[in-house]
Structure 1
């Protein structure tokens, strides 16, 4: 029987609840420990998911004998601090997207992981979904020929709470790092780093981006048209246009979903992916596979690609003039 892998969670918020629910569906996974600034909140979360250990002290959490890997689910602004503490203690990390506040922090995190020989992976869950795996497989097989351009959006109407994580500058709020990362990720995954980019944003009263449009230009003539907003519900679709066909990723494309392969003549081949839970099973399984095989990073989403995506997000922020408190 394969030895169970004991998980810890830092930050028992909304996404952590979804992850814990999915973790219960992963064979060989066990939620062992929870860390929160509030001991009461940690205990409530631990009780809900039958985790034996609850902590408010990071040192005690990392000293827990039943801790094989930690999932970091705090706001973007705290990822660096928590990941670095885990890595210094030699504890493997699955860190929620956006991986860090900026690329400088990301490079420190990946550098320490490599130096310590400790597993580290960005929890960019869309990368590990069966739908994404199939899209990449079809492109590799030449189903749409050479990819020429990407068009993707993500938008929902958020309550403009100035203290909430979506609108607070101190929590690295804004559309880009929360949902804009998905269209940017897709363009990067399919077309790579652009030669140049243009971006415009509308800012909230708190000073973070509440809507933005981004245009990537590639040296080979490719383009990406990307949109993210916290002000309105959008279709949240994606299109990958190739020389010999199109992939239309249907609504809520970043989730386990469905897509159509469209031939130049307009013929459709439809692909549908059933899924249980919240969709975080796949990233958890990948992290556990890597741990069991002694890998320090995932070949599906290696640290170099995380670094590249963070650098691209920095370029978009530079183009719209967005800085967070404490950044140079």
Structure 2
């Protein structure tokens, strides 16, 4: 069928079958529209060119999608695959791929195992061989899970250009940022949260490769290379664990405020200080510096 006026062109339609309304049994014949498609099991829908869906309850739309080789197992079903060259390689008979949404170009091409994941954008989930995902969300060009050959990546979320995320981590990237540490957060441009539980916000900021667990770096080109430390400001750097660093680089002469907190290893002996009833504030002098502390009834 062709129509130059309407712009509608349908060629080599193998079969168009819609489920019957009412009656028994329900017609589960696949719906196959296009050329050179492989559509052997239903209910499923394949629309396009050289695409395939040999698994149940799936929708495949586009060119060269859904592994045209057709090497599927019973563990592959309930997927939505839309675009070009989406999931077209390495999804062999042993692969477990179900309950996913893959949309874009060159998406999830090397996926071997994926459950409940969403990949949208060109080259998302398409950098490393043997991608294995559970409940991951990758949205944007070049987004990916971090581990090159994981058992699986679990609940990783990467959004933006070239964002990477590890297990339970979140990366919002404007240009190649990564939350490669587990349970980490990276937000910004070319920033990198490399350590467990670390948070990095800003451009070019990062944690250390071998230290920086549970640490925070906020600002431009800041670096935290020690555990349990916080660095705030432009080009601020930590020098010890349990440290707060505020780099006041906005002044004419850059100044850095560093405060290191010691770790409490034991509860000090109890003591009692008796003050007049009217006293509501307590002033303490430490190394020549006065501190005023409000008093609260915490009995």
| TM-score, with structure 1 as normaliser | 0.21
Report which of the two has the higher share of strand: 2
Q: Which structure has the larger Rg? A: 2
Report which of the two has the higher share of helix: 1
| TM-score, with structure 2 as normaliser | 0.23
Q: Tell me which of the two structures has the higher relative contact order, counting C-alpha pairs closer than 8 angstroms and 6 or more residues apart.
A: 1
